Structure 1
Amino acid sequence: MPDFEERTEQPTPRRREKAKEKGSVPRSRELISMFGTAGIFLFLYLAGDHSIENIFYLIKYVLGSLHEKDLIFVANFAFPKMVSVLIPFLIIPFVFAVFTGVLQGGFVLKPLGFEIERLNPLNGLNRIFSLSGFFELLKSVFKFAVGGVLFFYIVKKSLHLLPSVPVMSLPEIVAFSLKFIARMVLVVFIVFLALALIDYLIERWRFERSIKMTRYELKEEMKEHEGDPLIKSRIKSIQRELARKRMMQEVPKATVVITNPAHLAVALMYRKNETPAPKVIAKGAGLIADKIKEIARKHSIPIIEDKPLAQALYKLEIGSTIPEELYRAVARILAYLYRIGRIV
């Protein structure tokens, strides 16, 4: 395959399937992290009071029992209970993160597999100093800057309340601190969630661009699946579309466009001393005819209405020269255009 060929074709379903098999799917780590954090917030909202009470109870029990009971006995009692309290803080964000990952790109096992190449330090350095690594660094710096700006903004907004802190009771100070922290966490979370959604859109755009195909790759894939009737139909559709695109690219080279006038359009090219006879380089009916006429007008190509001639020319294959029986009719049009100076 030519290395310089541009990837201009949209990826086929098979191309997407192969990318997924290799573990390549549009996925934002930022979005996964934020939904994992959202899972923790949701748990704290629903059952946070109970969990915090249990933690304080265990701390109070441990501190109060250190002088009365054996340390091993206290540890054996407190450790399982502490684990049971902390497990939700580990499992819930994990479940939310996995769920978000599956929603973004489906369930893919490939990235979990072991590959010896990952142990190569040179590969690791290449990833760090690659364009992708630089992009990740920029994202981290941007997030840090946004977090700093938000922190100073919230602190500045709360400065007018600080003089009243010394006269507050301990419960009031705790309530004030919790309110300040909650406000900061909420604002930071909302902003970072918006950034994560933007990051996902960027990652999806980068993924779509990375799996685009060259025409060569598209043709090779067509060859692999020619036996399947459905794929065969799809191939023919793609081939027609490619042929139509190439045909439209030829229209600006036309000498004249002959129309029906409403339904048909045939573009003829004639170059003295280059073509033995006028040649059909594009033709179409309906919307395609309208497109041919639009391109012709854009490039100042003469458009001549001649219903019988247009119908006769439309029966010819693209790339073929006109038959002798049409010489006189076409020559009359070309002579007219030469006479009025539309072609030279």
Structure 2
Amino acid sequence: MAEGQERTERATPRRRQKAREKGQFTHSKELTSVAGMAGMMLVLYFGGRHFIASAKVVTVDFLTLSYGMDPFIAIKVAMTKTLLLLFPFLLGIVVLALTSEISQVGFMLKDMDLNFSKLNPFEGVKKMFSMNTIFDFLKNLLKFAGGILIFYLVIKADIVKLPFLLGKEFNQLTYAAYDLLKEAVWYGFLYLFVIALVSFIIEKYRFEESIKMSKQEIKEEHKDTEGDPKVKSKIRGIQREIARRRMMSQVPKATVVITNPTHLAIAILYKEGELGAPKIVAKGSGFVAEKIRELARKHKVPVVEDKPLARLLFKLEIDTYIPQELYKAVARILAYIYKLQGRI
């Protein structure tokens, strides 16, 4: 990696994957908290009055000794019923909190890695004064101050209702308290949602900045991923040479070589009874065409000049059979060769 280069480029998918494998990604604890709070609010909105009524029954039954005279049994029964009442709230919190975590992080299984540097007290002191720690401290301070302010404003707005509640029955007081609680939770949720959203945007920006790359890093990554262009070019050259040699080894076996006369050369093989049609076993232009002609003459393979046919045959791939529309033209040349050889 080049040192001293400014990181101005957006991170590549591979860089992001590596960061993710190291546990680096955009993550906001506030969004998870707000999602959990939203789960509680949903249960409170749809089943809050049922919860209040059920809680009232449990309280009355406990105080009137309906669960028995033994205090331990009474407390056990009351706690069990209370936990059953709280279960929907806990379930809502867990489900939406997990949904928030998965949407931010996804499913990720990471091997446990013992990092003894984390136990270093000097590293701990450095982290205490890092920008992340300061940012988290200011964020928590803002949340605490905002929570106190919301609590004060809600109490201040509802304190005028207290004299009217003093003369109400227990049932009415219960539902009035429920309404006040729902209002306070709603304001608290809105406040924390704004903080969570701002926090997520900041975390996202900081993460993107932390994984930015320099132009040199992108070049090196491309080399690692795709391979060095020089090496790839050399490999392609070797592959072409191997293919050319394999092709040339078929020329001595050819039945005829059709030329253009100097620019193109196409070697055709035909074995009556073995091949259904004539087959192109080698072709080339320029220097390769010259080598095909030389090799054909050396092994006494007939070389026939036919410019129009050579151009048409050169368009076909090696190891393909002659198409039906060229049968007549190729058959004419094969018949001429067989006649010269005394085979017909």
Question: Which of the five TM-score ranges fits, normalised by the shorter chain?
Answer: 0.5 to 0.7
- Does structure 2 conserve the Cα–Cα contact (< 8 Å) formed by 1:6 and 1:214? yes
1:109 aligns to 2:130 (yes or no): no
Amino acid at match of 1:146: G
Partner of 2:325: none
SS of residue in 2 equivalent to 1:94:
helix
The more displaced of 163-172 and 214-223 is 163-172
User: How far has the Cα of 1:171 moved from its partner?
Assistant: 4.4
Partner Cα distance (1:159, 1:60) in 2: 27
Amino acid at match of 1:142: L
Amino acid at match of 1:221: E
Partner Cα distance (2:12, 2:99) in 1: 26
Partner of 1:33: 33
Partner Cα distance (1:67, 1:153) in 2: 41
Partner of 2:315: none
Amino acid at match of 2:114: E
User: How far has the Cα of 1:2 moved from its partner?
Assistant: 4.6
Partner Cα distance (1:122, 1:6) in 2: 29
- Does structure 1 conserve the Cα–Cα contact (< 8 Å) formed by 2:11 and 2:212? yes
Partner of 1:91: 91
- Does structure 2 conserve the Cα–Cα contact (< 8 Å) formed by 1:58 and 1:78? yes
Partner of 2:128: 128
- Does structure 2 conserve the Cα–Cα contact (< 8 Å) formed by 1:26 and 1:204? yes
Partner of 1:158: 158
Gaps of 5+ in 2: 233-344
Instruction: State the TM-score, normalized to the length of structure 1.
Output: 0.57
Q: Deviations over 1:151-185 (max 9, x none)?
A: 33333333544454445555444444333332222
Count the aligned residue pairs. Answer: 229
The more displaced of 11-20 and 148-157 is 148-157
User: How far has the Cα of 1:30 moved from its partner?
Assistant: 0.5
Q: How does 1:1-344 map to 2 (within 5 A)?
A: 1-65=1-65, 68-74=68-74, 77-110=77-110, 113=112, 115-117=114-116, 118-227=118-227
Partner Cα distance (2:14, 2:26) in 1: 16
User: How far has the Cα of 1:203 moved from its partner?
Assistant: 1.0
SS of residue in 2 equivalent to 1:90:
helix
Partner Cα distance (1:202, 1:10) in 2: 17
Gaps of 5+ in 1: 233-344
The more displaced of 76-85 and 22-31 is 76-85
Partner of 1:313: none
Partner Cα distance (1:152, 1:184) in 2: 10
Q: Deviations over 1:11-60 (max 9, x none)?
A: 10101111111121111110110000111111222333444444444444
Amino acid at match of 1:115: L
- Does structure 2 conserve the Cα–Cα contact (< 8 Å) formed by 1:34 and 1:192? yes
Amino acid at match of 1:107: F
SS of residue in 1 equivalent to 2:190:
helix
Q: Deviations over 1:90-130 (max 9, x none)?
A: 333122111111112322334x8453444444444333321
When residues 60 and 178 of structure 1 are mapped into structure 2, their CA distance, relative to the original with a 3 A threshold, is closer
Partner of 2:254: none
Amino acid at match of 1:185: V
SS of residue in 1 equivalent to 2:226:
coil
Partner Cα distance (1:176, 1:79) in 2: 24
Amino acid at match of 1:213: M
- Does structure 2 conserve the Cα–Cα contact (< 8 Å) formed by 1:23 and 1:108? no
- Does structure 2 conserve the Cα–Cα contact (< 8 Å) formed by 1:101 and 1:107? no
Q: Deviations over 1:184-222 (max 9, x none)?
A: 221121122122112111111111111101223212211
**Which structure's CA Rg is the greater one?**
2
Partner Cα distance (1:159, 1:73) in 2: 39
- Does structure 1 conserve the Cα–Cα contact (< 8 Å) formed by 2:150 and 2:188? yes
Partner of 1:342: none
SS of residue in 1 equivalent to 2:15:
helix
Partner Cα distance (1:173, 1:85) in 2: 20
Amino acid at match of 1:100: S
- Does structure 1 conserve the Cα–Cα contact (< 8 Å) formed by 2:6 and 2:214? yes
SS of residue in 2 equivalent to 1:225:
helix
Partner Cα distance (1:131, 1:209) in 2: 14
When residues 176 and 143 of structure 1 are mapped into structure 2, their CA distance, relative to the original with a 3 A threshold, is same
When residues 123 and 64 of structure 1 are mapped into structure 2, their CA distance, relative to the original with a 3 A threshold, is farther
